[in-house]
């Protein structure tokens, strides 16, 4: 058995962080707009060439519940391509493209099996005779507060039993996206869990595989790196399911770091950055946010001023404008990260060490951000361990700086 697991296509997605100004080449915009389409088209082509048994699409096909006619037609055309090669598709809708009436208005070809708002099970018999049972559901509203996994049937439903869930691991007291726990999924006794909603590719468990494929195209700097799909196949020796990531995204968001000192002038910064980009030999378009890292004594006044007012970024963009297509790189942001020499006062250090673990953990952050997490973009940015760790780091830096700047005295 061999199948593709994908999710979070977000067709018609708006790309954020890229300014629509004179500095940005106009030829960049069609490339960005077409990127999710190109990525999914490659996924369908791979499905046909790999002769997979079926395709799982776990929610958020579109970026909204009312996408453009062009996005609708594109997706229908791709489903028809799979239909022509007799490849079944199991499809669910997520919180972005939820269907209020519980079903899609689109007329899909006969190979597409769509899950409604209630958990149901679809069955398939493969060419070799093996049977597959796929259980799933779609969103009929933007938030699903209940634990939908509780409604999934328990135990083996066929030779291979698969669950599809567009949702997030339960944390805190207020989860809005079909909350579940990993032990809960494992206890169902399935062979594979196909997840969607979280845009970072990750495996929550290996026995059975519980996978997020991530989105198929990064949409801003918080979704860096390669994006694509998961190819799942049966190991001929053990019979277990193996997971293989395949990159398909035409555009990659990435950070580019350059170390600078007080002696580094503006022209040197620009020249060194261009050289670094040239030496990277990018094979596809990279959207770069440049970070200048400086020692404790900081950068020169000219570099600091030109970075702050945008002139440094403008100079770099002007240099890249005529060659960004050859270099496969465009810089859209530039910031300075000064490695300040900071420390706590002894009493503050003790207090910080005693309290940071209690304050900066996923549960506590989620409880504080209950209402904010109803906004999916905020949840995607903060609802993960990496974001909590970064929040703790930034808070520590802020408090250390405050301790260094203020003169605390006992006035009693």
**pLDDT tens per residue across span 325-359:** 999 999 999 999 875 444 455 546 566 566 766 66
For residue 297, report the phi and psi dihedrals to the nearest 5 degrees: -80, 0
Judge whether 307 and 331 are in contact, CB under 8 Å: no
CATH fourth-level superfamily of 2-247: Metallo-dependent phosphatases (3.60.21.10)
- pLDDT score for 384: 57
- pLDDT score for 204: 96
For residue 104, report the phi and psi dihedrals to the nearest 5 degrees: -80, 140
Q: How is the beta sheet containing 251-259 ordered, strand by strand?
A: 251-259, 285-294, 329-338
With a cut of 50, which residues of the chain have pLDDT below it?
Answer: 340-343, 347, 400-412
- pLDDT score for 375: 54
Q: Which residues of 65-76 are buried (b: 16+ CB within 10 A; e: fewer)?
A: eebeeebbebbe
37 in the Ramachandran plot: left (φ > 0), alpha (ψ -120 to 50) or beta?
alpha
Among 1, 2, 3, 70, smallest CA distance to 37 is for 70
- pLDDT score for 370: 54
Would you list the domain boundaries of the chain? 2-247, 251-338, 346-405
pTM: 0.82
- pLDDT score for 67: 82
């Amino acid at each position: 058995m061999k199948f593709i697991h994908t999710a979070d296509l977000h067709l018609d997605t708006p790309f954020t962080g890229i300014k629509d100004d004179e500095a940005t080449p106009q030829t960049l915009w069609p490339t960005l707009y077409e990127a999710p389409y190109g990525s999914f088209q490659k996924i369908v082509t791979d499905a046909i060439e790999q002769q997979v048994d079926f395709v799982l699409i776990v929610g958020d096909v579109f970026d909204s519940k009312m996408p453009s006619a062009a996005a609708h037609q594109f997706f229908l055309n791709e489903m028809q391509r799979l239909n022509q090669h007799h490849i079944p598709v199991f499809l669910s809708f997520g919180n972005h493209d939820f269907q209020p009436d519980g079903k899609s208005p689109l007329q899909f070809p006969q190979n597409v099996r769509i899950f409604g708002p209630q958990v149901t099970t679809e069955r398939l018999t493969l060419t070799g005779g093996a049977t597959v049972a796929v259980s799933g559901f779609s969103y009929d509203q933007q938030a699903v507060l209940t634990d939908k996994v509780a409604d999934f049937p328990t135990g083996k439903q066929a030779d291979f039993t698969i669950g599809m869930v567009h949702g997030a691991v339960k944390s805190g007291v207020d989860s809005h996206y079909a909350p579940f726990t990993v032990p809960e999924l494992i206890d169902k006794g399935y062979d594979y869990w196909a997840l969607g909603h979280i845009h970072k590719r990750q495996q929550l468990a290996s026995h059975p595989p519980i996978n997020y494929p991530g989105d198929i195209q990064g949409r801003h700097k918080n979704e860096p790196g390669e994006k694509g799909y998961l190819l799942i196949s049966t190991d001929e020796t053990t019979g277990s399911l193996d997971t293989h990531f395949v990159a398909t995204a035409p555009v990659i968001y990435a950070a580019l770091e350059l170390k600078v000192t007080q002696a580094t002038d503006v022209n040197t910064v620009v020249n060194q950055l261009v050289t670094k980009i040239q030496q990277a030999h990018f094979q596809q378009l990279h959207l770069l946010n440049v970070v200048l890292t400086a020692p404790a004594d900081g950068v020169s006044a000219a570099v600091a001023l030109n970075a702050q007012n945008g002139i440094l970024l403008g100079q770099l963009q002007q240099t890249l404008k005529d060659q960004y297509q050859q270099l496969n790189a465009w810089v859209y942001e530039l910031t300075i990260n000064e490695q300040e020499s900071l420390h706590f006062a002894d009493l503050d250090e003790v207090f910080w060490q005693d309290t940071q673990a209690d304050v900066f953990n996923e549960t506590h952050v989620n409880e504080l951000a209950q209402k904010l997490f109803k906004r999916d973009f905020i949840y995607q940015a903060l609802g993960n361990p990496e974001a909590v760790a970064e929040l703790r780091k930034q808070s520590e830096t802020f408090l250390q700086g405050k301790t260094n700047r203020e003169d605390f005295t006992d006035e009693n």
